[in-house]
Chains A and B, each alone.
Chain A
Amino acid sequence: MIDDLSLRWKIPLRVMAAVLGTALAVTVAMIARERDELRQSLTSHAMSLGRVMANTLVAPVLHDDLWRAFEILQSGREPHPTAPELQASVMLVVDRDSRVYVSSRPREFPVGFDLRQSKGAYALLPKQMEGIGAREQRVFEPEHSPLFFVTSPLIADGVPLGHVVLGYSQDAFRPRFVNLVLNTAVVTLLVLLLILPVSWYAARKTGEPLLALAEAMSQVPGQLESARLADLPQNRDEIGQLGDAFRRMVGELRKKELLEDQMLVSERLAAVGRMSAGIAHEINNPLGGMLTAIKTYQRHGAGDPLANQTLSLLERGLTQIRNTVAALLVETKPQDRSFAPADIDDLLILVEAEAHARSVTVAREGVLERPLPLPATLLRQILLNLLLNAIAAADEGGRVRLGLKLDPGMLRMTVCNDGKHIPDEQLAYLFEPFYSGREKGHGLGLWVVYQIVQQLGGGLSVDSEPGCTTFRVEIPYVET
């Protein structure tokens, strides 16, 4: 479940977890250290108090002044208001036989009480005070006991008289410890209050580029264009590299999509061409026969005026069919003269009247310096159709530009106009026969251009943006 969470939350949450974990670890370490120090200071305090009491108690014990010994114990139990854990919870003076000489809590440890008869941790004390313990101070911490002890020997002139036992409660330590934990916790919380928002912000910042990338990816392949324009990170880290790769991928996808569109258009145009050729062939055969028959009749059988009138009508109709079919099926004439610079001048003169009528300026860029080994009639047909289309499409008083560029083995021609641009959805059908963007015209001009370019092994493309529609024609040629 947490695995499916968005990075928008996952990264900040993980950073928060890391920060909290660190804070907790540091706090626990600090508390553990403080606890050790508290314990250390308590132990050293207890040992020095034990030494002082042992020295002070030698005389009363030697003189058997029980009350004096008791008063000394009482003075050792003075409360420490700031450090209550320093107050011994029990103090015992015991003789060499582990019997209580006097204690700070006489009801529990009356005079003469034998420690060996006691229960719990106290019963273990006599053993601690034997051997080394008979002459040296010892700290004794019985297992599973809420108490720990410091035993200090009472020694007079090198002779051990007994011991002073100071017993401390581990519980007394607790309020101070709880206080310590609370203080540390408050400090940690304050630090966290400062660090957490900063970490959260930084973590969100880290996740943002990935989120942007994911958002952009979700648009592939549906909306390639908006995916391409997405605001992706530009830096050189891994996410930046990912963004670059993504941009490249989207670019390739877009190219492929365009290519597929073009291929679709080309295939359709090819199919239309094959069909047109077939139809034209099937029509042309009987049509030729019919026109020959009419001509024969007019030459030999003339006389009946009604028949003449009818046949003349048939002949005009059949001629129109033949022209239309001829337009559908452009056929290259194998023999033609070369395309010469003068042809360009002719073309400009030819379209001048039409341009003048619409107040359109026709400009020429580039010149052809020599004749090219390309069929002049067909090239004239291409340029004438494109120029007339451009003049018709240009705005009233607009401009049309004819560009010529000669590369080795390739003639490039462009015809631009500044009229209304052609919508994308129309571009795909632009070169099909009988497709016309205008009210006038039969819709065969571009189809003818397409067929000629195809037959010459060239390429044809159109770009249309508002204010500039450009037709490009590329025709390969071979130098003789």
Chain B
Amino acid sequence: MADIDDSHDSFTRRRWMLAAGALAAAAPIRPLRAAVQRERVFIGLTPVFLDDQVSFLERWRDWFEKRLERPVSFVQRGNYREIVDLVRQGKLDFAWLCGYPFVRYRRELRLVAAPLWRGRPYYQAYVIVTGDDRDSRSLFDLRGKVFAYSDPDSNSGYLYPQYLLVQAGENPGAFFSRSFYTWGHRKVVEAVSVGLAAGGAVDGYIWEVLNDNGSELTRGTRVISRSPLLGHPPFVARGDISQAEFDRFRRALMGMASDSEGATLLGSLRLDGFTDAQPALYDGIARMVSRVARP
């Protein structure tokens, strides 16, 4: 741990620190600033998938270490913003982010790959209501009720319902009697399912995976609104990542479906694989961002 200075000039010294980084690898939990030592690969995760399955994450990390031939650490935080900030600061090498923060910071981030769900790199944002609510047909029927957002930096869990309201000329800040964040899509489903919120905004992919897994939570909810197809949350890399690292990581993801271990892991995620993605995939989200930002 020779260098714990995380000022900007540490970036220029990165190459020199490779040897020191090997020492850091021995410690099971490393301070984040050690990321600048470049040996270990730090990957940020957000609740764009079911990120609370610890045993799955361990298997996936092992898989990454084998493919990247490096030690790998997953980094999880309570909300999107912290992960986004860490990537922007260069403290994480890669992150699985929502399309919304990618669109906002696309100049600072590099798009690595997008997941393939049901064969395509798209997903939908859902608006759900409690199962015993038989009347609500759209988000606009939830006026004056309690609404659960997932995360203020989530496309499906925040941006999409905001966009709908703005489009309809509503003031998103006054439309609901009360709204709150659950900081996770699964928890939105839970909050709606138990009736804490009358409705909620949730990642359609997460809702469907929970539903396929036979979860009690989705059974207590009903989807009343689906967004158009939007770009599935992508893997991104920090802007100053070396091409070699970028390529190695990207190859690993793209080849995941074609090796048996990787396919098993993808099966757990209910994904078909990762695919090459262009920033244009997220133009739909970008349009919503610009609409919401300038109502």
Give chain A's interface residues, CB within 8 Å of chain B: 64-67, 70, 102, 106-107, 110-112
Contacts and interface: CB of A to CB of B under 8 A. Distances in A.
Interface of B: 146, 148, 177-178, 180-183, 187, 191, 194-197
Given A110-B146, A111-B146, A112-B146, A70 B196 contact: yes
Contact of B191 (A64, A70, A107, A112): A70
A344 B180 CA distance: 145
A102 B197 CA distance: 10
Nearest to B181: A67
Nearest to B78: A68
B182 A67 contact: yes
Contact of A110 (B180, B182, B195): B195
A330 B178 CA distance: 145
B180 A67 contact: yes
Interface pairs A-B: 6 shortest CB-CB: A66-B180, A107-B195, A106-B196, A67-B182, A106-B195, A111-B146
Given A65-B181, A67-B183, A110-B146, 11 more contacts: A67-B148, A67-B191, A70-B191, A110-B196, A111-B146, A111-B177, A111-B178, A111-B196, A112-B146, A112-B177, A112-B178
Nearest to A73: B196
Residue among A66, A67, A107, A112 with max Cβ neighbours from chain B (10 Å): A67
A106 B194 contact: yes
A112 B145 CA distance: 10
14 contacts: A65-B180, A66-B178, A66-B180, A66-B196, A67-B148, A67-B183, A67-B191, A67-B196, A106-B194, A106-B195, A106-B196, A107-B195, A110-B195, A111-B177
Contacts of A111: 146, 177-178, 196-197
A64 B181 CA distance: 10
A107 B193 CA distance: 10
A64 to B, nearest CB: 8
Contacts of A70: 191, 196
B143 to A, nearest CB: 14
Residue among A102, A107, A110, A112 with max Cβ neighbours from chain B (10 Å): A110
B92 to A, nearest CB: 25
A112 B195 CA distance: 13
Contacts of A65: 180-181
Contacts of A106: 194-196
A298 B239 CA distance: 197
Contacts of B177: 111-112
B102 to A, nearest CB: 25
Contacts of B181: 65, 67
B79 to A, nearest CB: 11
A102 B178 contact: no
A67 B187 contact: yes
Given A67-B181, A112-B177, A112-B178, A102 B146 contact: no
Nearest to B191: A67
A102 B146 CA distance: 11
A177 B196 CA distance: 34
A415 B194 CA distance: 122
Nearest to B183: A67
A395 to B, nearest CB: 117
A67 B150 CA distance: 10
A70 B148 CA distance: 12
Contacts of B191: 67, 70
B221 to A, nearest CB: 14
A64 B146 CA distance: 14
A65 B191 CA distance: 13
Nearest to B132: A107
A104 to B, nearest CB: 9
Contacts of B194: 106-107
Contacts of B182: 67
A100 to B, nearest CB: 11
A106 B196 CA distance: 5
A66 B195 CA distance: 13
Residue among A65, A102, A106, A107 with max Cβ neighbours from chain B (10 Å): A106
A260 B196 CA distance: 110
Contacts of A112: 146, 177-178
B217 to A, nearest CB: 13
B290 to A, nearest CB: 29
A365 to B, nearest CB: 122
Contacts of B180: 64-67
A79 B178 CA distance: 30
A93 to B, nearest CB: 12
Contacts of B148: 67
A34 to B, nearest CB: 36
A159 B182 CA distance: 27
Contacts of A67: 148, 180-183, 187, 191, 196
Nearest to B194: A106
Contacts of B178: 66, 111-112
A323 to B, nearest CB: 139
A111 B195 CA distance: 10
A113 to B, nearest CB: 11
B26 to A, nearest CB: 36
Contacts of A66: 178, 180, 196
A76 to B, nearest CB: 15
Contacts of A107: 194-195
A348 B148 CA distance: 145
A329 B282 CA distance: 166
A72 to B, nearest CB: 13
A110 B178 CA distance: 11
A102 B196 CA distance: 8
A66 B149 CA distance: 11
A112 B144 CA distance: 11
A162 to B, nearest CB: 15
Nearest to A70: B196
A94 to B, nearest CB: 15
Nearest to A69: B180
A251 B217 CA distance: 100
A65 B196 CA distance: 13
Residue among B148, B177, B183, B197 with max Cβ neighbours from chain A (10 Å): B197
Contacts of A102: 196
Nearest to A108: B195
Contacts of B183: 67
Contacts of B146: 110-112
Contacts of B196: 66-67, 70, 102, 106, 110-111
